[in-house]
Amino acid sequence: MAIRKFTDITNETSTKYDRYKNTQIKATIENVFDTGSASNSPNDAAIQFLKEKIDDIIEETNVQTVASSSLETKIKSITSFPGFGTSNSTALRGDTTTISTSQTNAITANTAKTGITSGQASAITANTAKRDGRYSYHFIVANFNGNINTQQYVPLSDGETEGTSITGRRDNFVAPCTGTIEKVIVRSNASLYNRGKGVTLTGKLHNITDRNSTVRATGTATTTTTADNFKNVLDFSSVSGNSFVEGDRLLVSLQAPLDASKNYYVTVVFKLDLNSF
């Protein structure tokens, strides 16, 4: 309820102010507090100043009362504490952080989040581009000096002993398990050109299968030779006849129309299936 000022006697509602509503008394009070009239006594100026300051207090009090009335109503409307929540839709105990509706919708729609493509998901399922512990790569150094104008079996067990016979004891490799020949890499410190041009270098895997004494399968790869000190790669990874099983006798041969003895630095790469041990 608003507080009334000094001169608003008529509108006072409390009974304690009834005697001041008497015409004569009311006129006397209004005359004393009338700041626009001449003072009737030495004390009137001080009384009128005091009345103005009290009116200022009344005005400010009324403003604050109006401003706080809505908060007071809300406070009074709270009958009891509803308790802490027990689900994600109610306030939980502790320092609970809430999110806006737009943030909830963004989470549902997966907005601004980076996932993986369907192609990547398929690659993960298929184990694409991942090394499998099932396979082991076996490297054999088979360097030699010789003339490969005719087919030469490279030394798979001891360097410098290439030959033309499939029975050469230092040219054979007995497969320890199932596998394939992947590639043969050849270099030389001499030029592998003939009359300034590259020639066809032919590499072969010769497979003398278990319980046989002659070659029963052959895998062939070719490449065009390069100048000195450049690599020459014979890729067997997808050719027919590149596989073998445990117990097969394997020989690897090189041939190119280069009628001269040269140093050949050779690495043979086998891929072994460890599951077959």
**Domains of the chain, first to last:** 15-77 (no CATH), 135-276 (2.60.120)
Q: In the prediction, which pLDDT does 89 show?
A: 66
Q: In the prediction, which pLDDT does 38 show?
A: 65
Residue with more model confidence, 259 or 181: 181
The least confident of 59-68, 82-91, 200-209 is 82-91
Report CA 95 to chain centroid distance, whole Å.
30
The least confident of 91-100, 185-194, 203-212 is 91-100
Calpha distance 196→246 (Å, rounded): 43
Q: In the prediction, which pLDDT does 7 show?
A: 73
- Asked if pLDDT for residue 64 goes beyond 80, the answer is no
- Asked if pLDDT for residue 263 goes beyond 90, the answer is yes
Calpha distance 45→9 (Å, rounded): 21
Question: Strand 249-255 relative to strand 152-153: parallel, antiparallel, unpaired?
Answer: antiparallel
Answer yes or no: pTM beyond 0.75.
no
Residue pair 254/221 in contact by the 8 Å Cβ criterion: no
Of the pLDDT bands very low, low, confident and very high (cuts 50, 70, 90), residue 75 is low
Residues 122-149 as b/e (b if ≥16 CB within 10 A, e otherwise) read eeeeeeeeeeeeeeeeeebebebebebe
Residue with more model confidence, 70 or 205: 205
Calpha distance 202→254 (Å, rounded): 6
Among residues 214, 208, 212, the alpha carbon closest in space to that of 244 is found at 208
